[in-house]
Protein backbone atom coordinates (compact mmCIF):
# COMPACT_ATOMS: atom_id res chain seq x y z
CA UNK A 1 0.00 0.00 0.00
CA UNK A 2 1.35 3.44 -0.96
CA UNK A 3 1.68 6.36 1.45
CA UNK A 4 -1.07 8.29 -0.29
CA UNK A 5 -3.45 5.29 0.07
CA UNK A 6 -2.70 5.07 3.80
CA UNK A 7 -3.27 8.85 4.23
CA UNK A 8 -6.57 8.50 2.43
CA UNK A 9 -7.63 5.69 4.73
CA UNK A 10 -6.86 7.86 7.82
CA UNK A 11 -9.29 10.47 6.50
CA UNK A 12 -12.16 8.00 6.12
CA UNK A 13 -15.16 8.63 8.46
CA UNK A 14 -14.79 5.19 10.16
CA UNK A 15 -11.14 5.90 10.88
CA UNK A 16 -12.04 9.30 12.41
CA UNK A 17 -14.75 7.71 14.58
CA UNK A 18 -12.30 5.08 15.75
CA UNK A 19 -9.73 7.80 16.60
CA UNK A 20 -12.29 9.84 18.54
CA UNK A 21 -13.40 6.76 20.44
CA UNK A 22 -9.80 5.92 21.37
CA UNK A 23 -9.12 9.52 22.49
CA UNK A 24 -12.23 9.59 24.70
CA UNK A 25 -11.46 6.18 26.19
CA UNK A 26 -7.90 7.28 26.99
CA UNK A 27 -9.16 10.46 28.69
CA UNK A 28 -11.70 8.47 30.72
CA UNK A 29 -9.08 5.97 31.91
CA UNK A 30 -6.67 8.80 32.80
CA UNK A 31 -9.45 10.59 34.73
CA UNK A 32 -10.27 7.49 36.75
CA UNK A 33 -6.57 7.02 37.47
CA UNK A 34 -6.17 10.59 38.73
CA UNK A 35 -9.22 10.33 40.99
CA UNK A 36 -8.01 6.99 42.34
CA UNK A 37 -4.54 8.38 43.00
CA UNK A 38 -5.89 11.54 44.66
CA UNK A 39 -8.48 9.79 46.83
CA UNK A 40 -6.14 8.78 49.70
CA UNK A 41 -4.97 12.42 49.98
CA UNK A 42 -8.48 13.87 49.87
CA UNK A 43 -9.68 11.22 52.27
CA UNK A 44 -6.84 11.93 54.70
CA UNK A 45 -7.93 15.58 54.87
CA UNK A 46 -11.26 14.61 56.43
CA UNK A 47 -11.27 14.44 60.23
CA UNK A 48 -11.19 10.88 61.55
CA UNK A 49 -14.43 9.71 63.09
CA UNK A 50 -12.87 9.45 66.57
CA UNK A 51 -11.77 13.10 66.30
CA UNK A 52 -15.23 14.19 65.19
CA UNK A 53 -16.84 12.27 68.01
CA UNK A 54 -14.62 14.04 70.53
CA UNK A 55 -14.98 17.54 69.13
CA UNK A 56 -17.32 18.26 72.02
CA UNK A 57 -17.07 16.72 75.47
CA UNK A 58 -19.57 17.00 78.29
CA UNK A 59 -18.00 17.41 81.73
CA UNK A 60 -19.61 17.06 85.14
CA UNK A 61 -18.23 19.90 87.22
CA UNK A 62 -20.52 19.41 90.24
CA UNK A 63 -17.87 17.33 92.01
CA UNK A 64 -15.06 19.91 91.68
CA UNK A 65 -14.72 21.58 95.06
CA UNK A 66 -13.94 25.27 95.41
CA UNK A 67 -10.18 25.73 95.06
CA UNK A 68 -9.75 22.48 93.09
CA UNK A 69 -8.67 21.89 89.51
CA UNK A 70 -9.89 19.01 87.38
CA UNK A 71 -7.87 18.06 84.31
CA UNK A 72 -9.86 16.52 81.47
CA UNK A 73 -9.03 15.64 77.89
CA UNK A 74 -10.44 17.45 74.89
CA UNK A 75 -9.19 16.85 71.35
CA UNK A 76 -6.16 15.03 72.76
CA UNK A 77 -5.17 18.03 74.88
CA UNK A 78 -5.38 18.50 78.65
CA UNK A 79 -7.90 21.10 79.78
CA UNK A 80 -7.77 22.63 83.27
CA UNK A 81 -11.14 23.33 84.86
CA UNK A 82 -10.43 25.42 87.92
CA UNK A 83 -13.11 26.21 90.51
CA UNK A 84 -11.74 29.46 91.92
CA UNK A 85 -12.26 30.79 95.44
CA UNK A 86 -13.73 34.29 96.05
CA UNK A 87 -10.25 35.49 97.11
CA UNK A 88 -8.65 34.16 93.92
CA UNK A 89 -11.39 35.72 91.81
CA UNK A 90 -11.02 39.19 93.28
CA UNK A 91 -7.21 39.04 93.04
CA UNK A 92 -7.47 38.11 89.35
CA UNK A 93 -10.09 40.76 88.64
CA UNK A 94 -7.83 43.42 90.16
CA UNK A 95 -5.06 42.84 87.61
CA UNK A 96 -4.52 42.33 83.91
CA UNK A 97 -1.59 39.98 84.44
CA UNK A 98 1.89 40.90 83.25
CA UNK A 99 3.17 43.04 80.40
CA UNK A 100 3.99 39.88 78.47
CA UNK A 101 0.36 39.30 77.45
CA UNK A 102 -1.99 41.59 79.42
CA UNK A 103 -5.66 40.58 79.48
CA UNK A 104 -8.60 41.29 81.78
CA UNK A 105 -9.80 38.32 83.80
CA UNK A 106 -13.36 38.99 82.60
CA UNK A 107 -12.22 38.33 79.03
CA UNK A 108 -10.95 34.89 80.03
CA UNK A 109 -13.96 33.42 81.82
CA UNK A 110 -17.70 32.99 81.29
CA UNK A 111 -18.34 32.78 85.04
CA UNK A 112 -15.81 34.25 87.50
CA UNK A 113 -15.71 31.09 89.63
CA UNK A 114 -14.72 28.86 86.68
CA UNK A 115 -11.49 29.16 84.71
CA UNK A 116 -11.32 26.81 81.72
CA UNK A 117 -8.03 26.76 79.77
CA UNK A 118 -5.88 24.47 77.64
CA UNK A 119 -3.37 22.89 80.01
CA UNK A 120 -0.31 23.25 77.78
CA UNK A 121 2.47 25.76 78.34
CA UNK A 122 2.56 28.28 75.50
CA UNK A 123 6.35 27.97 75.29
CA UNK A 124 6.94 24.41 74.13
CA UNK A 125 3.81 22.64 75.27
CA UNK A 126 4.70 21.05 78.63
CA UNK A 127 1.89 20.54 81.12
CA UNK A 128 2.21 23.11 83.93
CA UNK A 129 1.69 22.09 87.57
CA UNK A 130 -0.87 23.78 89.82
CA UNK A 131 0.54 25.95 92.58
CA UNK A 132 -1.15 28.22 95.11
CA UNK A 133 -0.54 31.35 93.03
CA UNK A 134 -1.30 29.78 89.64
CA UNK A 135 0.69 27.32 87.53
CA UNK A 136 4.37 26.57 87.16
CA UNK A 137 5.89 24.97 84.07
CA UNK A 138 8.63 22.54 85.14
CA UNK A 139 10.29 22.49 81.72
CA UNK A 140 11.77 26.01 81.61
CA UNK A 141 10.25 27.80 84.60
CA UNK A 142 7.36 29.81 83.15
CA UNK A 143 4.74 30.93 85.65
CA UNK A 144 1.04 31.65 85.15
CA UNK A 145 -1.46 33.26 87.51
CA UNK A 146 -4.88 31.95 88.57
CA UNK A 147 -6.37 33.37 85.38
CA UNK A 148 -3.85 31.38 83.33
CA UNK A 149 -2.04 34.60 82.35
CA UNK A 150 1.68 34.44 81.80
CA UNK A 151 3.68 36.07 84.61
CA UNK A 152 7.18 34.84 83.81
CA UNK A 153 8.68 33.89 80.45
CA UNK A 154 9.98 32.11 78.41
CA UNK A 155 6.31 31.36 77.61
CA UNK A 156 5.12 34.20 75.35
CA UNK A 157 1.36 33.93 75.82
CA UNK A 158 -1.35 33.26 78.36
CA UNK A 159 -2.69 29.71 78.58
CA UNK A 160 -4.97 29.31 75.59
CA UNK A 161 -8.73 29.49 75.93
CA UNK A 162 -11.14 27.13 74.18
CA UNK A 163 -14.81 27.30 73.21
CA UNK A 164 -17.17 26.01 75.90
CA UNK A 165 -20.56 26.66 77.42
CA UNK A 166 -22.47 25.83 80.58
CA UNK A 167 -25.26 23.33 79.93
CA UNK A 168 -26.39 23.71 83.56
CA UNK A 169 -24.86 24.69 86.89
CA UNK A 170 -23.13 21.28 87.00
CA UNK A 171 -22.46 20.54 83.36
CA UNK A 172 -19.96 22.01 80.98
CA UNK A 173 -19.73 21.38 77.25
CA UNK A 174 -16.20 21.73 75.89
CA UNK A 175 -15.67 22.44 72.21
CA UNK A 176 -18.71 24.58 71.48
CA UNK A 177 -19.29 28.19 72.52
S1 LIG B 1 7.58 24.49 77.90
FE2 LIG B 1 6.91 25.62 79.58
S3 LIG B 1 8.50 26.98 79.97
FE4 LIG B 1 9.17 25.88 78.26
How much is the pLDDT for 41?
46
How much is the pLDDT for 95?
96
CB crowding 49-85: b at 16 or more within 10 Å, else e: eeeeebeebebebeebeeeeebebebeeeebbbbbbe
How much is the pLDDT for 11?
55
* Annotated catalytic residue 140: yes
What is the DSSP code (8-state) at residue 107?
A: G
How much is the pLDDT for 26?
52
| CA 6–ligand 1 middle distance (angstroms) | 79
- Residues in the chain with pLDDT < 70? 1-54
89 and 70 both lie in a single domain? yes
How much is the pLDDT for 164?
98
How much is the pLDDT for 39?
46
- Looking at ligand 1, which atom is closest to the CA of residue 128? 2
How much is the pLDDT for 2?
43
Best probe residue, ligand 1, of 78, 126, 158 (max atoms within 8 Å of C-beta): 126
| CA 123–ligand 1 middle distance (angstroms) | 5
What is the DSSP code (8-state) at residue 120?
A: S
How much is the pLDDT for 42?
46
Best probe residue, ligand 1, of 142, 152, 153, 159 (max atoms within 8 Å of C-beta): 142
Task: Count how many domains the chain has.
Answer: 2
Please tell me the pTM assigned to this model: 0.72
65 and 36 both lie in a single domain? no
Handedness of CA 174, 153, 66, 96 (dihedral sign): negative
115 and 166 both lie in a single domain? yes
69-74/77-83 β-pairing = antiparallel
Ranges of H-type helices in the chain: 3-10, 13-45, 49-53, 86-93
How much is the pLDDT for 59?
98
How much is the pLDDT for 25?
52
13 and 84 both lie in a single domain? no
- Looking at ligand 1, which atom is closest to the CA of residue 153? 3
Work out the number of other CB atoms within 10 angstroms of the CB of residue 137.
Answer: 24
15 and 66 both lie in a single domain? no
59 close to 71: Cβ distance less than 8 angstroms: no
41 and 57 both lie in a single domain? no
What is the DSSP code (8-state) at residue 157?
A: S
Amino acid sequence: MSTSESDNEADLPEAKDRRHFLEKATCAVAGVGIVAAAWPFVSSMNPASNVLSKSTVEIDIGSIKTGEVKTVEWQSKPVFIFHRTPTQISAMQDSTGSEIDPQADDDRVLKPEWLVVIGLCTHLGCVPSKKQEGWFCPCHGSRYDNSGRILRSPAPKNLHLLPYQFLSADKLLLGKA
